[in-house]
Amino acid sequence: MIKKRETVWLSCLLIGALLNGCSRGEPIEPAGDPASQKPKDPITLTWYFAQSSLEATLDPSIQEALKAKFPHITLNFINRGKGSEYADLIAQGTLPDIIYESTAFTTSRVITNGFHYDLQELVKKHNFDLGSIEPNVLAHTLAQNSEKKLYSLPFTMNKYALFYNKDIFDRFGVAYPKDGMTWDDVYELSRLLTREDGAVTYQGFTTQPNNIMLNNQLSISPLHTKEDKATIHNDGYKLLYDNLRRFFEIPGAIIAPLGDFSKGTIATMVNSHSAIVGAVRANPQLNWDVVSVPGLKERPNTGFKPATLSLFVAQTSKYKDEAFEVISYMLSEEMQTLLSKNGQGTTLKSAAVKKAFGQNVPEWAGKNVGALFYYPDAPPMEPRDSKLTDVGVDFGSSFATMIKDKTDSNTALRSFEEEINKAIEAAKAAKEVKAK
C-alpha cells in the first residue's frame, strides 16, 4: 500500500510541471501568468504637449490605436499655451506623466522644472530596443546632459532639405538641383537666380540662419562645455558664417522670410520638411520638389544635427511603467509607420518606415522624399556640464546685423559672444538672488 502511494506521488512529481498542482491537493490553474488574465485597473495619464499640439501630432487614427492598445488607460492631453505653461501646471498641481518636448530643451525646461527621470531602468525592465533608433539621434538625446542619462526617447524629428521652385528654374533655363550638391553648388545656383525680371525680383536662396547655426553640420556648440561662457568667436563658427553670408551678399539678395517661398519668387530654400506642406497649401499652384541638404565640404556626407522632439516620463508620475509602455509603443515600427505616412519625421533606422513617409499627405505625392534621409545626421555636440548656466542662443539677429551693416564675420562673432556672456552673468546673478 505504501509503495502504491509512493508511485502515485512520484508520478505527480514527473507531470507536476504540466498539471500545475497535482501534489498536495492544490487546484489546477490554467497555463500562463494568472495576473495577465485579469483586467488591468483603469488609470489616467496626463500627456503634456510642450511642443506643437495634440491635433498636429497625433491624428484620430493614432489616438484610436492607443485606445485599442491600452484600453485601461485614459489619456488626458494638455497643449502648452496661455494658462498651461510649465509653471501653471506646477501651481495647479496638474503634473504630467508624459511630456512631449524638444530634445534641445531637456535642460532649460524639463530639468529646470524638476520633471527629469532617467529611463535606463525602464528600458531594461520593458526590454525596449534602443538599437532601433538612429545612432546619432540617440547619441544626441544622451548628450543633453553631461552624465549621459537617458531622460527621454526621441519620438519625431524635423528633417532638413533643399526645396526648390521648378518654375523659376524653367523660366531662366537653369538645371534643377540634385541630391548630393554642396553649399558651393547651391551658391552658384543662387547667383544665377537672384535677379530681376520685369517687375518681379527673384531670390535665388533663403533660409533661417539661426537654424543653420544651431543644427550645424560641424557639430559645434555656442556654449562652452566646461565653463560658464560662450564659445562662438572661433574658426568653426567663422566658417559657418562665411559659408552662409555670401548668399546674401549677392546683389539684390535679402534674407527673405521662409514663408515667402509660397509666393513663388524664391528659387531655393533650406528648411525643415514640416514647413513645405504649409507653403503648398497657401499656394496650391506651387511647382516644387526637394533634394538633400547642401553638403559642407569640410564635413562631407553629413546632414544637420538631429532636430528631435522627445517623449519624457516625468519623475512626478505615479505610473512610470505605464507611461513608459505608452511612449515605447509610440516608438514601435507600427506607430512610427503611421506617423511617417502622416508626414512626421521618424527617429528609427527602419528603411520601411522612411519609405512610408508622406503617403497620407497629398502634397508629398510624387516628390523626392528620399532626399530627407540622404545623409546621416551629424553626430552630437559634446555634452555640456549640467551644473553650468543655461541660456538661449539665437543667431538670427547677429547674422542679420552682420549682413545689414556689412561687417566681417570675426567682428560679428566677437560682438555676439560678448552679448551671450553678459546674458550668462545676468542669469547667474538672478539665480543667486533667488537662492537667498
Q: Calculate mean pLDDT across residues 301-326.
A: 97
pLDDT single digits (tens) 214-253? 999 999 999 999 999 999 999 999 999 999 999 999 999 9
CA-to-CA distance for 217 and 204, rounded, in angstroms? Answer: 22
pLDDT at 37: 56
Model pTM? 0.88
Q: Please name the residue that has the C-alpha cell 509602455.
A: 325
Strands (E), 273-338: 288-292, 307-313
Strand partners, 45: 75
Lowest-confidence pick of 8-17, 66-75, 159-168, 302-311: 8-17
* First vs last C-alpha separation in the chain: 86
The helix, strand and coil proportions of the chain, stated in percent and rounded to the nearest 5, come to 45, 15, 40
Q: In what side-by-side order are the strands of the sheet with 206-207? A: 206-207, 268-272, 160-165, 288-292
pLDDT single digits (tens) 402-425? 999 999 999 999 999 999 999 999
pLDDT at 239: 98
Burial environment of residue 10 by CB neighbours within 10 A (0 to 12, 13 to 18, 19 or more): exposed
Q: Please say whether the beta carbons of 137 and 347 come within 8 A.
A: yes
Phi, psi of 299 (to 5 degrees): -145, 75
State the Cα angle at 124 between 121 and 127, rounded to 5°: 145
- With 70 as the cut, is the pLDDT of residue 91 above it? yes
Residue from 291, 294, 284, 290 nearest 264 by CA: 284
**Spatial CB neighbours of 176, under 8 Å, sequence gap ≥ 6:** 164, 166, 169, 289
pLDDT at 386: 84
Mean pLDDT for the chain overall: 91
Please count the other Cβ atoms lying within 10 Å of the Cβ belonging to residue 150: 18
Q: Calculate mean pLDDT across residues 382-393.
A: 90
- With 80 as the cut, is the pLDDT of residue 2 above it? no
